[in-house]
Amino acid sequence: MLKQILLSIILILPLHAAASAPATDTIITMPFENLSGRPEYNWIGESFAAQLSDLLDKPGLVAIKPDERNVAYKQEGLPPTAILTRATMIKIAERAGASLVIMGTYRINDERQTEKKDETKPEEQPEKKIEEQTEKKPEEQTEKKIERTITITARIVNIREGRLVAEFNISGDLLEIQRLQGNLTYEMLYKHNQALPFSRDQIVSQATEAPIGAFENFIKGTLTRDREARTAFLERAIKEHAEKTRKKYLSAIFELGRAHYEAGDHAEAVKQLSQIDEQYPRYDEAQFYLGVALDATGQTDRALESQQKLAAPLPLFEVYSNIGVLMIKKNLFADAINHLKPASDASPRDTDTLFNLGYAYYLAKDYTNAAATLRKGIERRSSDGEAYYILSKSLTALGDTPGAAEASDQAKKLLPQFAQWETKGAPMLARIKTAFSKANYYRYKREQDERVNARNTTSNTSTSSTSSTREERSIDGARDAFFSGRDEDALAALGRLLQAEPQNYEAHLLMGRVYERRGDFDRAINALKAAIFWNPKLIPAHVLLGRIAVLKNDCAGAQKYLDKALQIDPSDQDAQALGRLVEQKCKQ
C-alpha cells in the first residue's frame, strides 16, 4: 500500500501578493472529470465539489455549495449530472456569482504488489468498498494484490480576468482520497492567504471526519435521483458514521430528511430534520422544510415556532407568508396580516401570498381590504376559483350584490366543489409555501457570508464578486438617471435589476425615491416597504415613509416611522430632521 502522498504544485500566478491581506472572493468547485473510463468511480468527481466547498469556506473566501451550484445548472437548463465543457463551467460559475472557479480531473490507476498473506492484520484491512475490488489467490504462498491510486489535477481560474491562477497536481492512495482533498484544500488556501490561521492538520482533520465508506455512500446518495436508492445510500452513510464515530452525520441526515420531504413523507421528514441543530450550515433550510412537514402532520404550534425562528435570519417572503398562514390556522388574524402584508409587498406578483392576505382580511371581517386584495390576485391569475369564492363572500358582506353575483358565477365555473362549500362550508383555504426561491436564498446567505468575511479581514472590497459588480453597475446607472431627472430610465433600470435581484433593498429604496418625487405615493410606499422587508434597519426608507405620511396628513404613521428610525440610530441626522418635521406639522 502506498503510504506517502505525492504532491506537486505548479504556481502560475499568486492569488494575492504575500504581503497583502486577502480580499473576499467567491469560489465555486465544479465536479472533477473522471478520465479513467470507469463509471464506478464517477462519484469521486462530485466528492471534490462537496469537500472543497466545505473546506474552502474560510475567512477571505465564500464557497458556493453544490446545491447552490445546481440552481445555476437549472437556470442554464442543465441537469446536475451533466458533463460540461470548460466554457460552460465558466458560464455556470458566472451565473452562480463566483469570481474564482476550480476545475479538475482525476484518473484511477492500478498498481500490483506482492505480499505475504499473513502480514496484514485484520484491523489494518482497507475499507469495505475498496476491499471488494482486491484480487486474491488463496492457493499461492504470496498473492498479487491490486492497489488503486488516484492522480488529480486541479486548476483555479479567475473569471473576471479570464486567466489561470494556479494549477495543482496531487496523487496518492485511493483509500486516502479524503486526506488528499484536505491537503489540496490547504495548498489552495495557503496560496490565497499565506497568513492562513489554520494548520494543514486542521484542514485534513476536517476533511477526514467521516469514515470513507460513509462518505462514499453520502456522495452517491446526493447524486442518485431514484428515491429508493437515494434513501438506501443515505441510511447506510448515517449508520456507518454512527457506528465508527459515535456521532451524527448531519449532512446525510439533512439530505435524507429532504428526500422524505420532497416525496411527501412528512412524518419521516420530521423525524430526520428535527435532528438538525443550529450549528449545521443549512439549519435555516432544514427549519423551513421542518415547519411545512410539521404543519402537514397537524402540529401547527411546532410548525409556527419553526417558521418564526426563520423570520430574522432568513427574511424571505415565503417564510413570512407561511407564518401568516399558520397564524390564520390559530385564528390570529391581525398577526397574520402583519406578516402577510410585508410578504405581499416584497413579492407583489405572487398570487398565493396575495390570496392568503385577502383571505386573512376576510376572516378578520375587513371586507373592503379583502375585496381589494383578492381582485389584485385575480388580475394576475384569473383561473383562481378560491379567490373568486372568497371575493363573492366579501362583496356580499359589503352589500355589493351585483359584484358578489358575478364573482360567485366565476367561482361556480372554476370550483367543482362549489355546491358542497355552499352547503357544508369551505375548508381552510390558506396556502402554505412548500418551497422557496433557492436563488434568493443563496444570494441572501452569500451576502451575509461576505459581510462576515469583510468584518474578519483587513482588506478592502476591490475584488467583489462578478454578480456584485454587475449589480453595482446597474444601481449606479439607475442613480445617474435619477439624479439627472430621467425618472423613466431610472425605473426601467431598477425594474430589470429587481427581476434578477428581488432582494436588492437599495434598488427598492431608489425606486421609492423616484415614485415619491413623481408624487406617486402609493407606489413609493410599496417600494419602500419592500426595501424594509429585505433590510429592516434601512433608516432612509423609514425616514422617507415618515415624510410621505406627513404629506398625507397621517401623523400616526409618521410618528411610527420616526420612532423606528430613531430606535435604529438616535443620532441619525435624517431621522432627527423627520422628527422636527413631525413636530412642526403634527403637533401644532
pTM score, two decimals? 0.69
Residue 444: band (very low, low, confident or very high) from pLDDT cuts 50, 70, 90: confident
Residue 13: band (very low, low, confident or very high) from pLDDT cuts 50, 70, 90: very low
Residue 588: band (very low, low, confident or very high) from pLDDT cuts 50, 70, 90: low
pLDDT digits (tens, 9 = 90+) for 500-524: 777 788 888 999 989 888 888 888 8
Nearest CA to 529 out of 540, 521, 541 is that of: 541
Check: CB of residue 314 under 8 Å from CB of residue 444: yes
Phi, psi of 8 (to 5 degrees): -130, 140
How far apart CA 210 and CA 197 sit, in angstroms, is: 23
What ranges in 428-554 are assigned the alpha helix state H? 438-456, 466-483, 487-500, 505-518, 521-534, 539-551
H or E element, residue 374: helix 367-380
How far apart CA 178 and CA 129 sit, in angstroms, is: 14
Task: Please give the grid coordinates belonging to residue 117.
Answer: 498473506
Residue 194: its pLDDT value, please?
85
H or E element, residue 152: strand 142-158
pLDDT digits (tens, 9 = 90+) for 129-144: 544 554 444 444 455 5
Q: What is the largest CA-CA distance in the chain?
A: 106
Nearest CA to 166 out of 32, 8, 29, 12 is that of: 12
Range 554-570 average pLDDT: 89
Work out the number of other CB atoms within 10 angstroms of the CB of residue 373. Answer: 29
How far apart CA 203 and CA 390 sit, in angstroms, is: 58
The C-alpha cell 405572487 sits at 350
Rounded to a whole number of angstroms, the CA Rg of the chain reads 29
Pairing of strands 25-29, 61-64: parallel
H or E element, residue 4: none
pLDDT digits (tens, 9 = 90+) for 198-210: 899 999 999 999 9
Nearest CA to 88 out of 104, 73, 102, 98 is that of: 73
Residue 193: band (very low, low, confident or very high) from pLDDT cuts 50, 70, 90: confident
pLDDT digits (tens, 9 = 90+) for 297-328: 999 999 999 999 888 777 888 999 999 999 99
pLDDT digits (tens, 9 = 90+) for 272-282: 999 999 889 88
Q: Which domains does the chain have, with CATH numbers?
A: 6-115+142-208 (3.40.50.10610), 210-314 (1.25.40.10), 320-436 (1.25.40.10), 438-446+468-586 (1.25.40.10)
- pLDDT of residue 124 exceeding 50, the answer is no
Range 56-81 average pLDDT: 86
Decide: residue 324, CB within 10 A, 0-12 exposed, 13-18 middle, 19+ buried.
buried
